[in-house]
């Protein structure tokens, strides 16, 4: 596969990943699939959701590079060595954005949701270490601990599922952007190998 076609493939592949990250981040604002908890100025929303890792890091900061990366694989002003050189810089921005998204997702998984503790009127983040019994034990692989949260309903599974998707998608974005940085380097040195009638294969 020539560098131009590779860039076009990478750019197109980033779009559904961007959409997945944005959707998951937006859904995290509605724990338990309810709009009730976002009405109180985000009081019931964890800080990891408010960091907007999937929306900004895995969304906006990937969308701009994706547009340029795909453009380097098309015929036109971007499909040249200069365009490939610029795609390296854009891909680096994409790596930074997806890294940010990944880190926020990991923190969201480690710290867990904000919830109402069963049998009490206490709202807290029990798995962040705010309750002493969870200081030395991870809740991620112990479903028996999930029942500690009574509200929002199913918030632990909700939190784990969406942050896991954001993490997985962001890691794929990192791989694609790093691949484009390598591809862009070859394209900068060798050209995009876009071939038109009467024109050389590399330009």
Give the pLDDT confidence of 97-117 residue by residue, as tens digits.
Answer: 999 999 999 999 999 999 999
How far apart, in whole angstroms, are the C-alpha atoms of residue 20 and residue 82? Answer: 31
3-state secondary structure of 124: strand
Residue 197 reports pLDDT greater than 60: no
**Under 8 Å between Cβ of 202 and 190:** yes
At 71, the pLDDT band (50, 70, 90 cuts) reads confident
2-30 pLDDT per residue, tens: 777 888 899 999 999 999 999 999 999 99
75-97 pLDDT per residue, tens: 655 557 777 888 899 999 999 99
**pTM tops 0.85:** yes
pLDDT number for residue 119: 84
pLDDT number for residue 162: 97
Query: Minimal CA–CA distance to 65: which of 95, 92, 90, 84?
Result: 90
């Amino acid at each position: 596969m020539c560098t131009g076609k590779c860039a076009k493939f990478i750019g197109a592949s980033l779009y559904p990943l961007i959409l997945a990250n944005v959707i998951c981040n937006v859904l995290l604002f509605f724990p338990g699939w309810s709009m009730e908890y976002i009405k109180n100025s985000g009081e019931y929303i964890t800080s990891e959701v408010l960091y907007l890792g999937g929306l900004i890091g895995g969304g906006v900061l990937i969308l701009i590079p994706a547009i340029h990366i795909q453009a380097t694989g098309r015929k036109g002003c971007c499909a040249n060595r200069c365009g490939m050189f610029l795609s390296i810089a854009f891909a680096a921005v994409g790596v930074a954005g997806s890294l940010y998204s990944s880190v926020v997702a990991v923190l969201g998984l480690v710290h867990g949701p904000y919830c109402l503790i069963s049998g009490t009127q206490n709202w807290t983040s029990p798995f962040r270490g705010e309750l002493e019994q969870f200081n030395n034990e991870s809740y991620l692989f112990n479903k028996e601990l999930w029942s500690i949260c009574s509200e929002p309903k199913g918030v632990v599974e909700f939190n784990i599922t969406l942050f896991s998707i954001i993490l997985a998608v962001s890691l794929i974005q990192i791989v694609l952007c790093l691949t484009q940085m390598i591809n862009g380097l070859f394209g900068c040195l060798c050209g995009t190998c876009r071939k038109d009638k009467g024109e050389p294969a590399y330009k």
